[in-house]
Chain A
């Protein structure tokens, strides 16, 4: 007997860095996702890891979409609203592709490792060879897949390289527990010596002290 199964409902592909962020989260954890966008990571974590998730998103359309999908999300700003959260109130504080758009990345990082027992941060690596090439040869502000906007319209005001980030974490007394550099296909780069040059996105698992 030939039973036709209904086609699985199509879900949009998840951003590669979010897939790696999700892998770092332990099942059943309490997670605060800062800059949660349309809630893709929160949804993934709820569905696959039974996570108790909350989100903060600056754009109203994103917040409305999240809440309308049953996710607990507030409209807020990483630069302004993290101060209200108590110490160690979450197992993980996640900041994905948002650090470079904050006004005070140092304070945001300190808040992340204060609010979460662990923090997970992903950011576009400005040390990626395409960026270097674009500036070196083209002599123009780089626009790439992870940095698509022109210099005059970008939200990204605090870009850094993977090595810069490691250096700042060290200065702030933040321990890097795991460090991933993802290539343009979202695959981790095996040799860490090439991470700063070959990685398009950095994903870090951090803790205080």
Chain B
């Protein structure tokens, strides 16, 4: 089922509220009288957490798997997207008989706070003014996202998650969960992640943010009140970011220097090359489903992420005494979150004699490999989860 409306065509707060109300799925509200304390010092409330679930929670409430989405992902991980109509971003991994087997596990996926798919973010009305928050929305962190998820898990009556799993920014949330709530996580699977955002990663995010800020339609973040949307800025931000999710090999294989619907160079600045056309398409379809201010806030949350910094600069200290079973997975051609970053986490976990598995998957598809068809990755994830389920005493699917 796809709603006819797209985020990009929405240029007023009222229309946006209408779209939000029609998005399928569950809502949980953190009340204003028990607000969410944020790292920046502000307490935020009320906060809506929009989430989806797949599978069935067992009587012992012991089979819950929290899936954490990446920067531009959302809670619709295992179903068609209500706005784009495209298949869920992790349908390859989540479903009956798949690695995250919904016949066995109860899967929860929540839109991060600061997002734009139903959870409270900068495009929502600020209770103090009635206007959209815009840049009055507090800067949130990965730890804040996790705090909101903890409140959701409390609300669902789940003491301990069987597993927390996610790629990229999702991996950051997984690590934060394992460090801040080790007693509430049995297994943690950070995929294509890192314990901090590198200077290069921050640099790419800054390029994207500056593209949004430089778009006159951004209006100091108050575009919704001016009935416009910074489409060009957000589109450029996406184009830049998208390149970082791929690899030179993948780009070359897909496009080479092939020309787009023409036989000769145009000697102009049209999209002569297929790769240009592809990127423009990526940019323009992205703005159909994403909010520019949400992009600013979520990229900032990733930039601020540094697990070791919270523990005196020593990553190992973050994991001291942990009983969580870890499985780190990286991909050979991922230059945004390279294997070396996962290995640093593995070394820190070894230093505290934690239970850790670490697999590097051979792939030439770059950072995005974790979202694509990678049978070896599926096999490893499936095996790790089954092994953990045995240790956790979870019943097998169908029993």
Contacts and interface: CB of A to CB of B under 8 A. Distances in A.
Interface of A: 52, 54, 60, 63-64, 66-76, 81, 84-86, 89-90
B258 interface: no
Given A54-B355, A60-B362, A86-B352, A68 B383 contact: yes
B346 interface: yes
Contacts of A76: 346, 358
Contact residues of A: prevailing secondary structure = mixed
Interface stretch (B110-118, B199-207, B223-231, B384-392): B384-392
Contacts, number: 65
A63 B346 CA distance: 14
Nearest to A32: B353
Interface in B352-399: 352-353, 355-362, 376, 379-380, 382-384, 386-388, 390
A64 B386 contact: no
B347 A72 contact: no
A74 B388 CA distance: 16
Contact of A74 (B352, B357, B386): B357
B380 A68 contact: yes
B262 to A, nearest CB: 43
Given A67-B359, A74-B356, A86 B383 contact: no
26 contacts: A60-B360, A63-B359, A63-B360, A64-B361, A67-B327, A67-B357, A67-B383, A67-B384, A68-B383, A69-B383, A70-B386, A71-B387, A72-B325, A72-B356, A72-B357, A74-B356, A74-B357, A75-B359, A76-B346, A76-B358, A84-B347, A84-B351, A85-B350, A85-B353, A86-B352, A90-B353
Given A60-B362, A64-B376, A67-B327, A72 B355 contact: yes
Nearest to B391: A70
Nearest to A54: B355
A70 B358 contact: no
Interface of B: 325, 327, 346-347, 350-353, 355-362, 376, 379-380, 382-384, 386-388, 390
A146 B357 CA distance: 29
A35 to B, nearest CB: 15
A204 B164 CA distance: 41
A195 B327 CA distance: 42
Chain A to chain B: the 3 pairs with minimum beta-carbon distance, closest first = A70-B387, A68-B383, A89-B353
Given A54-B356, A72-B357, 14 more contacts: A60-B359, A63-B358, A63-B359, A63-B360, A67-B359, A70-B383, A70-B386, A74-B350, A74-B356, A81-B350, A84-B347, A85-B350, A85-B351, A86-B351
Contacts of B386: 70
A64 B353 contact: no
A73 B357 contact: yes
A64 B359 contact: yes
A12 B99 CA distance: 26
Given A70-B383, A70-B390, A84 B359 contact: no
Given A86-B351, A86-B352, A64 B346 contact: no
Contacts of A63: 358-360
A157 to B, nearest CB: 24
B362 A84 contact: no
Contact of B347 (A52, A73, A81): A81
Nearest to B384: A67
Contacts of A72: 325, 355-357
Contacts of B352: 86
A89 to B, nearest CB: 4
A74 B380 contact: no
B351 A64 contact: no
Contacts of B350: 74, 81, 84-85
B355 A75 contact: no
Nearest to A88: B353
B360 A75 contact: yes
Contacts of B355: 52, 54, 72
A67 B187 CA distance: 14
A74 B390 CA distance: 20
Give the interface centre of B346, B383, B386 by most chain A CB atoms within 10 Å. Answer: B383
